[in-house]
Amino acid sequence: MRIRGLTYMDGLSLGMLMFIMAGGFVAAFVDSVVGGGGMISLPVLMATGIPPHLVLGTNKLASSISSLTSTLSFVRSGRVDKQLVLRLGAYSVVGGAAGTTVLHWVPSSFLRPMMIVMLLAVTIFTLTRKQMGDERTYVGLTGKTTLCFTAAALLLGGYDGFFGPGTGSFLIFAFLLVGFDFVGAAGNAKVLNLCSGLASLSMFAYFHTIDYRIGLAMGLAMMFGSLVGSQLAIKKGARFVRPLFLSMSALLIAKQLWDFLQ
């Protein structure tokens, strides 16, 4: 898909810049609350004609700016368990760096069918547990939850660096399972997503697969989108986050299934 009048080689024309920033704002708004923003931002970047080998790295730069903004917003609101995410952040960093390194040697397309099945299971489970995420029941780490959280942070960090789509949704679900409410789950998930994203970004930079002009332009718009989205989530709570989470999960499933079948 290409936007008429916009070609990568022409540079950042006004039309291209507006298109990138509009898409970035919408992507970040959604991603700051429930994840899945890459489903919007990646097609936007591809539509501008950016070379394929730069798309993922450029998107990671923009999304990292978005993640940092929404993370700070959630932290200031008091909806982040700082002690917990400090313990888990290192595992997300290791996973994100390792995943992006492997990406440069192994194609990630084989993960698509697995991701579709996992997202479908998450969506069905959340739909059947109607009270899930309405109230916080989490009281602290146990030996079992520590092991599960460590594995989730490491594996989903690796998944984020290697493939990406749905990482935020999977992280939110992991926090919901141990008793966090939807807003708390979104806030804590965003911190871990930021950790793996920054580690992944550093590897993309090492491999010189980032277009900094486009990434920073999109990142600026995503900064505002994530601020609006995270503030709405904090103010409106589960009644806003839950339906958006389910809707984005369904859209992610449909999009990835369509790509797989094509």
Give the separation between CA 8 and CA 44, rounded to whole angstroms. 12
pLDDT, mean over the chain: 87
Q: In terms of pLDDT, which residue wins out, 193 or 246? A: 193
Instruction: Give whole-number Cα distances, 242 to 56, 130, 182, 227, in Å.
Output: 28, 10, 7, 19
- Contact between 31 and 197 (Cβ < 8 Å): no
Residues in contact with 12: Cβ distance below 8 Å, sequence separation at least 6, in sequence order = 213, 214, 217
Mean pLDDT confidence for 2-21: 67
Please give the pLDDT value at position 135.
Answer: 82
Would you state the structure tokens that stand for residue 37, as one six-digit string? 């923003």
Spatial separation of the C-alpha atoms in residues 137 and 238, rounded to whole Å: 14
At position 68, the amino acid (one-letter code) is L
Residues of the chain with pLDDT > 70, as a percent, come to 94
pLDDT band at 3 (very low <50, low <70, confident <90, very high): very low
Strand ranges inside 129-207, DSSP E:
none
Q: How far apart are CA 38 and CA 161, in angstroms?
A: 13
- Percent of the chain having pLDDT more than 90? 50
pLDDT at residue number 108: 67
Sign of CA dihedral 38, 42, 45, 50: positive
- Residue 79's SS3 state is coil
Domain locations in the chain as residue ranges: 11-261
Q: Which of 104, 218, 117 is nearest to 166 (CA)?
A: 117
